[in-house]
Amino acid sequence: MHELAADLALIGLGANLGDAPATLRAAVRELDRLPRTGLRAVSGLWRSAPLDASGPDYCNAVAELRTGLSAETLLDHLLRLELRHGRRRPPGVRHAPRTLDLDLLCLGRLHRQGPRLSLPHPRMHERAFVLAPLQEIHPDWRLPDGEPIAQALLRLRLAGQQLQRVGPLLASAL
């Protein structure tokens, strides 16, 4: 897997309710204002059909943050941001449509398996909507099993996961 510095976090962003692009732009600005945290890079905006779910297409992106927060504290901030943007988690419903979804994909080289948080994210290698924006930020990324990101994306697209780059998420580059 690509090695991140200990203080770098990758966040997957997604939304398919409301004005999803505007919500993702607002979320990126809010991520940049978290305590002891700053935005280093953000991918473009990608559109994909829901995976293992129904509903409108998703808008997705990946952001890279430099942070002094612990994984648990960063996760708490992400969950609060989701709530502020109207995220609801209906009991017993997985993959429900959402106003905002923020996934902590990686934090440095941290490896952890737990009921609340697993790092790296255990399903990121199965999701083209994560890997395509991640490839924009880290084109040489390798999955934990050593598979290059470009090869993983090809594998997922051949399996039927289609997505389209819509354009930049932020109006100006970082």
The CATH code of the domain at 8-168 is 3.30.70.560
Give the predicted TM-score (pTM) of the model. Answer: 0.94
Going residue by residue through the chain, which has 174 residues, state the pLDDT in tens, using 9 for 90 and above: 567 899 999 999 999 999 999 999 999 999 999 999 999 999 999 999 988 777 899 999 999 999 999 999 999 999 999 999 998 876 776 767 899 999 999 999 999 999 999 999 999 999 999 999 999 999 999 988 899 999 999 999 999 999 999 999 998 755
Q: How far is CA 48 from CA 6, 33, 40, 116, in A?
A: 31, 28, 24, 26
Cβ–Cβ under 8 Å, residues 51 and 95: yes
Q: How far apart are CA 172 and CA 160, in angstroms?
A: 32
Residue 53 DSSP SS3: coil
